[in-house]
Each structure stands twice: as structure tokens, then as C-alpha cells.
Amino acid sequence: MNAAPALSLPVPASIPSPPAEWASFSLGPLTIHLYALCILLGIILALWLTQKRFARYGGRPEAVWDVAVWAVPFGIIGGRLYHVFSSPDAYFGPDGDLSLIPQIWLGGLGIWGAVALGAVGAWIGCRRAGIRLSAFADAAAPGVLLAQAIGRWGNWFNQELYGAPTDLPWGLEIDADNPAFPPSAEPGTLFHPTFLYESLWNLAGVALLLLADRRFGLRGGRMFWLYAAYYTLGRVWIEALRIDDAEMVSLFGITARLNVWVSIVVFLASVAILVYLSRRLRGAGTPSVYLPGREPAADAVGDGTAEAKATGAEGNSGAGSTSGTGDDADVHGADASATPENDRGNLSETHGSSVTSGSQDPAKAEPRDSASRTQSPGHRP
């Protein structure tokens, strides 16, 4: 009896790049670039996640948009400026073209500039919204990493930012006529898909940050610095694989890409700040997300805070001594915000409602009613 032939499934030997015409499409007079859509999608999901987390911290979800209208534009401008000045040849070199600087859709946003100038925008937004910058940064950290993970797929559509040649089965195909194709490489050469490495690294980091926050309740800026340390740890080895043009810097006899050195410095600084904050905040209570004196009044009433209760108790006590109803909760609920001009009318209505509701013995209520008339000379039966 002959054995049945073994079934074999074809295993992809490479990751194809999308055709060049997929990088953009026309919508009437507009040209839509997939790189820009990836960035936009990442920002939207980052804001959604940040809203969820900020609400869990005790803040108003809509306040995230108040900060985002400052942080996002600042971040995009900062990311572009960092890219331009860290890779200046394409713009200021002998064959450079200054008109390329605003063309963000062609690619080129540096994360360090985006975070640095984005933090300035976030600080402005937080000051205007009355929010602590550290609270917003902690809430936004996983969302920022999520946005980075999605934004990296824009590099795939542009066929850019790939690594050294490889024969691994997940090697990335790059069109030989692509301007970024290495002139020394043979057509059909496969490259490390560094965009994919970074995207997966960032997605794993989102899960790690969320778990760490749930387990340890990292606040006071610690979540942000954990994000910075995690991201830069991966960026060091991923950046070292890349072969696209970059500024090279020699330190301690080692020549490496500028972003490798920046990642190392930011990683060490992030770890040091994280350790410092952890020791400084050990045993401290959970801080408010709002700046002192900027807590929303509506939240204080709606949430039934101690301050609101104390204020209500004082108002109820004064109302009870004037009307003699004995029902403090009803008096406070009837008109907690009464002005001096209509206090007497409100108290009289509240007193009447407490007698007719049947919650007290009318025989007992009558003496209080008489006392009320005695205390109010202008009262007519």
C-alpha cells in the first residue's frame, strides 16, 4: 500500500511592497497620500485611547481634545523639523531642494522632534485646560506608542526606511527603480523590514504599558518615562539595521547613526528619571489630574465630593433653623443655589411641601408652623 503524499503549503519567501501607484490616489482635485492616512489614523486611535485612560484617571474625556489641538500640530511641526535638520543634505545640500521641507506626505518625521515640540504644545493646552502635564502625559503614553506603530506602515507604502539585505523568509521586496534602492544591490535583493519590526515592537509596548499601569498604577509622569525607555530600547537595535542615508556620529571610537546615539542617551535619561520618580512618589497618594484650583465645579457636584457635601450640609443647617422643617435633604435639594433675593420664598415653598407630603405628623408640624409665623412678621395666614 503506497503512502499518501505529504501535503505541502507554499511558504512566502518574502514580504512584497505595494506598487508605487498605491502610495497615493486622487479624490477630485485632491491627492491623498497613504503615508498621511497612516499618520492620521494613528493620531485618531491615540486620542481615543487617551480619552479612555484620562477618564479612568478621573478627568473629563473631552479635555483631551482641548490639549490635542495644541499638541498634535506642534508635534507634527517638531517631527518635520527634526527630520530636516538631522538629514539636511536633501534640503540644504548641493542638490537640495527647500521646497521639499513642507511636503510631509513624502515621508520624514523624527520622533524626537515630535515628542519634544509636542510636549510644548501639550503644556500650553494643559495650562489652558487646567490639567497637570504629568497626568496628561501618563494618560497619553500608550496612545503615542500606538500611533507610532500605525504610522510606520506609511513607510511601507512609500517603500522607505528598510534595513540591510537579508535572506530571511520575511525579507522585504523593494522595487529596483525606487529612488531609495541601494545602487550596489542587485534587483530582487530582500531587505530587513525595519518598519515591521518597529511596528510590532510598539504594539507589544502598548500592551506592556497598559499591564504595568494596571498592576502598579504608574502616575506622576512615570508612565511617560517608562514609554520613553521602552521605545528607545527597541529603537537602538532597529535603527542599527537601517541603511538609508543618515548623519553618522563617532563617539568613543564607535561610528553610528545619529538616532542610535540619541536613543541611547534618551534611554539612559528615561531610566534615571523613572527610578527617581518611583522613589520620590513611593507611598504618595494619587494626585488629581487637575491643577490646584482648576477642578471643574460640575464634577465636584456630580461626583458628590466631600467639599460639595460639606457646603450642602452648611446650607441645609441654616435653612433648617429658619424654616423649622426638620428635613435638611429636601431643603438642600429644593434650591441649593438660591440667591439672597429669593431665599425666603424658596424656604416657604419647601416648608409647605414637607407638611403636605405626609412625611411628618401634622400635629407635630403645627407648632413649628406657628413658630415660623412668629419668626416671620411679614407672613400672613
Region 361-367 average pLDDT? 44
Q: Domain spans of the chain?
A: 20-280, 305-326+369-381
Q: How confident is residue 238, by pLDDT bands cut at 50, 70 and 90?
A: very high
Q: What proportions of the chain, in percent to the nearest 5, are helix, strand and coil?
A: 60, 5, 30
Region 14-25 average pLDDT? 89
**Is the pLDDT at 308 greater than 90, yes or no?**
no
**Is the pLDDT at 70 greater than 80, yes or no?**
yes
The span from the CA of 198 to the CA of 16, in Å, is 18
Got the DSSP string for 85-119? HHSTHHHHSTT--GGGTT-GGGS---HHHHHHHHH
CB 240 within 8 A of CB 198: no
Tens-place pLDDT, residues 179-196: 889 988 999 999 999 999
The span from the CA of 122 to the CA of 372, in Å, is 57
Task: Give residue 377's pLDDT.
Answer: 43
